[in-house]
Structure 1
């Protein structure tokens, strides 16, 4: 840890709120870098050099001060950090008057330095945690041993099975989203779920990626458990952060290399899903994810949607398209479709006949039914 001008100013400011005497902070080279008397800054303090070299308190009276350069009467105490002298704090005045303040000012200085060191370490850890997350989701060139070594230095457990989740932020309390807002969201995602690995994941600065711990069993990972945790998270974010967000959870893939695949499935889910829900699971959106981007392949998209286009032309009220959509949402269950639409089975059969007539596709044939389904989910 090195004394900086910023830390020195804090020490001087806080100490001089306690005592009326001028306080000086001297670095390890004996140069004054903070002082209640600005004219003394950048001067070499020979009394402080003695305190540093001999690691002892140096008192200077009026007579001694005349024999040394850059020195006034006062008391100089070594600043200790991790058992090492890193500088000196001095109090100007008659040693007999300021002696009683010495230990108090020294303690103040060392507490400020310790706090600064902890903050610096926290920021270093946070930055490197984010860099590790980005390495994992982007498919790092580092091997697993190297990634685990980095994680160990950050006190992280990469052996814990995880899935990727993407949190997309639409707004914060109705305001335009800023970097400060996004950092607040990161804090909400990190605590109290301390095992979450979190990083800002998009250039547009509106997406945060979370590598969430999961519990594996013989049947895979528990979606029900994750749904419960996600709902708790949504409630906390809504109450504490006032964010408007959507969350997409990817699939699970074993090994550290699998985290990049999990991220890709979560990313594709949030980009491709037309669902109005604010919590999305890849498992519920596999086909839309797989066919995402089809619209950019113009001729294929036109071929896929051609039957639906013909249907829409002769379905002015949208009754047939709605029937088809509900039928697929009910997993092609005729009874449930009739119940959802409040119609009789005969009415449904009649509408299916009309759909076949307009589209040229038979809903009772698996390949033609599949084509209709893909057209509906990609419209």
Structure 2
């Protein structure tokens, strides 16, 4: 418990409380040593009154000044049934007694709050570490990991589906939808990871999300025993969507396996430049053309340009890449090179 009542915290409390209390305050640790005081010279010394208060578990009042202690009150500080220190106030016991109670309450609340925040931070770190492990564990799960997974309602001995949700908007409402299921949020990313035992829950969750965020993207891996594999599959589907600027909102790896794995396949020799180096205007035009299945009318409408402007841009793409977007195999190669970006 002493980690929650540090010298720095004790001195900070003393300094702040003495702005409103006209008496010198002392805070002692669980050994009775002064770690915070209105009299800096007393810091680091043993307070006999505090030692007695810790032994008896009761307030100790001193009515006369002595060499190593001054008159005042010393109240044990107990948090979660554990003694963490002593609050002492210098002065006539009858006068300072109410202030001692006040300071004790304030310090107790502050320590409990810090403990709660510390426990929450520890749990966040533990959850993040578990997530990192589970998303990279491709072999048989060790027993320790299986037991840890149970804390998050994940049963690794059963088949699961990994579902990734990338909202367009940031909202706490998503977590209301996810709450009935094991879910995680990738640190520093606007990406939620759900691990579902029932494949039928995927569509229900997706529809709930789209009711207030119709642009959210949902991607699902295959139903299987390995979380890392399912995560990889769903992640590749998201990558395909983002690189090709597709209009779809739902991606199932079972349906998108070919472009997903194509994006990871190196077809050409290293000397061949696989990725496209086109100006943003032409990249936008090409991805829109692919997204609309090579339909000029729909592409021009989506880009809000005249069809002749579209033809001009596609012609420029042909000049810059040597590939004609209107020819099937050329368009396939352009799509591949976009996926490799």
Q: Compute the TM-score of the two structures, normalised by the length of structure 2.
A: 0.69
- Gaps of at least 5 residues in structure 2 are 275-281, 301-322
Residue 109 of structure 2 corresponds to 111
* 2:154 aligned with 1:158: yes
Q: Give the Å deviation of 1:134.
A: 0.6
Q: Give the Å deviation of 1:23.
A: 1.4
Q: Give me the whole-angstrom Cα distance separating, in 2, the residues matched to 1:79 and 1:276.
A: 60
Q: Give me the whole-angstrom Cα distance separating, in 2, the residues matched to 1:189 and 1:292.
A: 30
- Gaps of at least 5 residues in structure 1 are 173-184, 201-205, 236-245, 305-317, 331-336, 343-358, 364-368
Secondary structure, counterpart of 1:21 in structure 2: coil
Q: Give the Å deviation of 1:226.
A: 1.3
* 2:73 aligned with 1:75: yes
Q: Give me the whole-angstrom Cα distance separating, in 2, the residues matched to 1:129 and 1:186.
A: 21
Secondary structure, counterpart of 1:88 in structure 2: strand
Q: Give me the whole-angstrom Cα distance separating, in 1, the residues matched to 2:119 and 2:290.
A: 56
Q: Give me the whole-angstrom Cα distance separating, in 1, the residues matched to 2:197 and 2:72.
A: 64
Q: Give the Å deviation of 1:45.
A: 0.9
Q: Give the Å deviation of 1:137.
A: 0.6
* 2:251 aligned with 1:281: yes
Q: Give me the whole-angstrom Cα distance separating, in 1, the residues matched to 2:178 and 2:40.
A: 47
Q: Give me the whole-angstrom Cα distance separating, in 2, the residues matched to 1:133 and 1:290.
A: 24
Q: 1:252 to 1:13 in 2, by over 3 A?
A: farther
Q: Give the Å deviation of 1:275.
A: 2.6
Residue 293 of structure 2 corresponds to 329
**Aligned positions of 1:188-337 closer than 5 A:** 193-194=178-179, 195-200=182-187, 207=189, 209-214=191-196, 216=198, 220-223=200-203, 225-229=205-209, 232=212, 249-255=219-225, 258-273=226-241, 274-277=243-246, 279=249, 281-283=251-253, 285-294=256-265, 297-298=268-269, 329=293
Q: Compute the TM-score of the two structures, normalised by the length of structure 1.
A: 0.63
Q: Give the Å deviation of 1:123.
A: 0.5
Q: Give me the whole-angstrom Cα distance separating, in 1, the residues matched to 2:213 and 2:292.
A: 31
Q: Give me the whole-angstrom Cα distance separating, in 1, the residues matched to 2:76 and 2:70.
A: 17
Q: Give me the whole-angstrom Cα distance separating, in 2, the residues matched to 1:140 and 1:12.
A: 53
Q: Give the Å deviation of 1:5.
A: 1.9
Judging by fraction of residues, say which structure has more helix.
1
Q: Give the Å deviation of 1:295.
A: 5.5
Secondary structure, counterpart of 1:91 in structure 2: strand
Asked whether the 8 Å contact 2:244–2:291 carries over to 1, the reply is no
Asked whether the 8 Å contact 1:189–1:196 carries over to 2, the reply is no
Q: Give me the whole-angstrom Cα distance separating, in 1, the residues matched to 2:53 and 2:140.
A: 48
Residue 378 of structure 1 corresponds to 336
* 2:5 aligned with 1:9: no
Q: 1:80 to 1:136 in 2, by over 3 A?
A: same
RMSD: 4.2
